[in-house]
Chains A and B, each alone.
Chain A
């Protein structure tokens, strides 16, 4: 059974960088069948796709966030990570990592439990 777990600071100051890690267990992040993505959900609101990565390091980002986002992968640790810089209160959200089947746009068949990140001074 594949499991994903997000980790990182729950509080980030405005203008600083939000950094999260997603640890994958029960399966290899280097599988050729899957891509790995980040999605966020502001409190009480809907879902927004941030971006996805393949184990080779190839990435795809939401154009609305592309200038501030970096997603990377560490196959030796079976982890991938998210960095979002120059954060504001609008970036306050629950951040989920997920496994996408097939390609960057594949359905998210496994998700982490989510981690709330609050942007506040």
Chain B
């Protein structure tokens, strides 16, 4: 299986901050990388697919980049509703696998 490693595992930030979350794959996954946001007690919500495509309805402050093994999710200006856990997911090869999550907390 492809291992997905996110960093950091947790992050404290303030409203208005620019935040970057990293995701590294154990082998090249080209651009087959998706990002999800999950709030407590809720299902994950798709933010970004194929590394940099913004899912319909997702605010433009979210952006994704990367290819091969290294990817990033950037939130340009944190809003109160953005405090959540973020997961990356590789969709290159079965089984699709997820990172361990990055918990974004209010400073």
Q: Which residues of A contact B (CB under 8 A)?
A: 46-49, 60, 62-64, 96, 98, 101, 104-109, 111-114
Contact = CB atoms under 8 A, between A and B. Distances in A.
B55 A47 contact: no
Main secondary structure of the interface of A (DSSP, over half): loop
Contacts of B97: 49
Interface stretch (B11-19, B67-75, B86-94): B86-94
Given A46-B98, A105-B32, A96 B87 contact: no
B98 to A, nearest CB: 4
B43 A64 contact: no
Contact of B46 (A46, A60, A64, A109): A109
Given A46-B98, A49-B97, A106 B43 contact: no
B34 interface: yes
Contact of B98 (A48, A106, A114): A48
B101 A107 contact: no
A49 B43 contact: no
Given A111-B44, A114-B43, A105 B94 contact: yes
Nearest to A49: B96
A49 B92 CA distance: 13
Interface in B72-107: 87, 89, 91-101
B95 A62 contact: yes
Q: Which of A101, A107, A109 has the most CB of B within 10 A?
A: A107
Q: Which 9 A-B pairs have the closest CB atoms?
A: A111-B43, A105-B91, A107-B49, A62-B95, A47-B98, A107-B34, A49-B96, A46-B100, A109-B46
Interface in B20-62: 32, 34, 36, 42-46, 49-50, 55
A19 B34 CA distance: 28
A4 to B, nearest CB: 9
Contacts of A105: 32, 91-94, 96
